[in-house]
């Protein structure tokens, strides 16, 4: 079928125990039409985007290939997958996350934010990534709309989130050295996790508009949507090469001004030609970052979002 009309869209059984997202999808007559004429967009009924973004590269023998570069560290594909699995274990074993729960992510571009994003998806949760410069009122509005229950927040960016005073929100910091910091909790977990077998049309992320015209509006994206961006725009328009390097910007915490300012400090991610059969693609990430992958490149860039096979983040 070249065109799937929105009103005819048949959703598959959801893996979400918390049905908030499925319950709040648009009515059938407001669902978008899907143009599938390009080909390569037929996905299995069950898929978890986090696995699709990482596993093919690792299973292809490129687990040691560098994936994320930042000023202080370099993570391989295998290391990123391991940390994402550890985050998923903390979420499910320590924080009681069930599939479908929304998790707010707050912090500047850095590898741990990527691990958190992937870990949320692996655990069957819904990632709600936010810009680090958002203030308490904006964060409160987002949490209210998405009914967020857990927040993973860079330990340097907790002030505004605390000031938002979201009822019932449990916040866990990452990147610090405190015993209850996610970075420390994850170290105690094994690096294997069986990802929740979400439906391809289960919601994976909720992305919010800036709210400049009023209350921020939520945009819900399925697991298959994250892959489709890579298999269309990147594969056919960007056409990245295996050794391409993509960079993003960090966000500096200016304590004197109590605001977050972007700094032009590149975070690199190299391309990788790890053998093979992977499709040339780019996957989008929450917060405006995209993963790009040519014929099995490295995920390059500093995260705030998502990946696919061998994909890099590109701003």
Report the run of H or E that residue 116 belongs to, with start and end. Answer: helix 111-122
For 37-64, what is the mean pLDDT?
91
Least reliable range by pLDDT among 37-51, 186-200, 202-216, 248-262 = 248-262
Q: Residue 1 above 90 pLDDT? A: no
Q: Residue 299 above 80 pLDDT? A: no
Q: Residue 134 above 80 pLDDT? A: yes
Q: Residue 116 above 80 pLDDT? A: yes
52 burial via Cβ count (<10 Å: 0-12, 13-18, 19+) = buried
Distances from the Cα of 84 to the Cαs of 41, 42, 172, 307, in angstroms?
26, 26, 15, 12
Whole-number percent of the chain with pLDDT over 70: 78
Assess contact for 291 and 240: CB atoms under 8 A. Answer: no
Q: Residue 83 above 60 pLDDT? A: yes
Q: Residue 255 above 60 pLDDT? A: no
Query: Nearest Cα to 128, choosing from 35, 113, 177, 24?
Result: 113
What are the counts of helices (DSSP H) followed by strands (DSSP E) for the chain? 8, 15
313 φ, ψ (degrees, to nearest 5): -95, 140
Q: What is the pLDDT of residues 169-227, one digit of tens each?
A: 999 999 999 999 999 999 999 999 999 999 999 999 999 987 777 788 899 999 999 99
Q: What is the mean pLDDT of the chain?
A: 80
Domains in the chain, start-ordered, CATH in brackets?
74-221 (3.40.50.980), 225-314 (no CATH)
Name, of 119-123, 269-273, 276-280, the range with top average pLDDT: 119-123
15 φ, ψ (degrees, to nearest 5): -95, 0
Q: Which pLDDT value is given to residue 238? A: 86
Q: Which pLDDT value is given to residue 280? A: 30
Can you name the residues that pair with 127 across neighbouring β-strands? 103, 205
For 135-163, what is the mean pLDDT?
96
18 band by pLDDT with thresholds 50, 70 and 90? very high
For 94-115, what is the mean pLDDT?
96
Can you name the residues that pair with 284 across neighbouring β-strands? 290
| Residue found under tokens 């690199």 | 268
For 37-49, what is the mean pLDDT?
89
> Taking the CB of residue 193, how many other CB atoms lie within 10 A of it?
22
Report the run of H or E that residue 289 belongs to, with start and end. Answer: strand 289-292
249 band by pLDDT with thresholds 50, 70 and 90? low
Q: Which pLDDT value is given to residue 226? A: 94
User: 115 CB contacts (<8 Å, ≥6 apart)?
Assistant: 80, 83, 84, 86, 87
**More confident call, 236 vs 87:** 87
96 band by pLDDT with thresholds 50, 70 and 90? very high
Q: Residue 50 above 80 pLDDT? A: yes
Assess contact for 300 and 312: CB atoms under 8 A. Answer: yes
48 vs 74: CA distance, rounded Å: 25
281 band by pLDDT with thresholds 50, 70 and 90? very low
The model's pTM: 0.80
Distances from the Cα of 150 to the Cαs of 109, 198, 225, in angstroms?
20, 20, 24
Query: Nearest Cα to 107, choosing from 79, 138, 133?
Result: 133
Q: Residue 269 above 60 pLDDT? A: no
Least reliable range by pLDDT among 85-89, 159-163, 174-178, 262-266 = 262-266
């Amino acid at each position: 079928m070249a065109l799937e009309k929105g009103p005819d869209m048949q959703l598959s059984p959801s893996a979400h125990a918390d049905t908030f997202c499925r319950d709040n999808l648009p009515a059938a007559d407001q669902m978008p039409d899907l143009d599938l004429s390009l080909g390569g967009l037929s996905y299995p009924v069950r898929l978890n985007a986090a696995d699709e973004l990482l596993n093919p590269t690792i299973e292809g023998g490129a687990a040691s290939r560098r994936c994320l570069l930042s000023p202080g560290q370099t993570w391989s594909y295998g290391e990123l997958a391991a940390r994402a699995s550890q985050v998923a274990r903390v979420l499910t074993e320590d924080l009681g996350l069930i599939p479908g729960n929304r998790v707010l992510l707050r912090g500047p571009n850095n590898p741990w934010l990527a691990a958190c994003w992937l870990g949320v998806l692996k655990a069957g949760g819904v990632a709600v990534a936010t810009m680090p410069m958002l203030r308490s009122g904006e964060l409160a509005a987002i949490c209210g709309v998405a009914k967020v229950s857990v927040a993973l927040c860079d330990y340097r960016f907790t002030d505004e989130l605390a000031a938002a005073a979201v009822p019932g929100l449990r916040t866990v910091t990452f990147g610090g050295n405190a015993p209850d910091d996610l970075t420390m909790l994850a170290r105690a977990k094994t690096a294997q996790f069986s990802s929740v077998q979400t439906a391809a049309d289960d919601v994976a992320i909720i992305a919010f508009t800036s709210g400049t015209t009023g209350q921020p509006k939520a945009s819900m994206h399925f697991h298959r949507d994250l892959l489709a961006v890579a298999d269309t725009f990147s594969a056919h328009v960007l056409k990245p090469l295996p050794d391409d390097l993509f960079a993003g910007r960090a966000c500096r915490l200016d304590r004197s001004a109590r605001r977050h300012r972007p700094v032009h400090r590149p975070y690199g991610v190299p391309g990788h030609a790890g053998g093979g059969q992977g499709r040339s693609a780019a996957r989008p990430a929450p917060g405006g970052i995209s993963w790009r992958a040519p014929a099995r490149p490295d995920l390059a860039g500093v995260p705030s979002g998502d990946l696919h096979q061998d994909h890099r983040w590109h701003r």
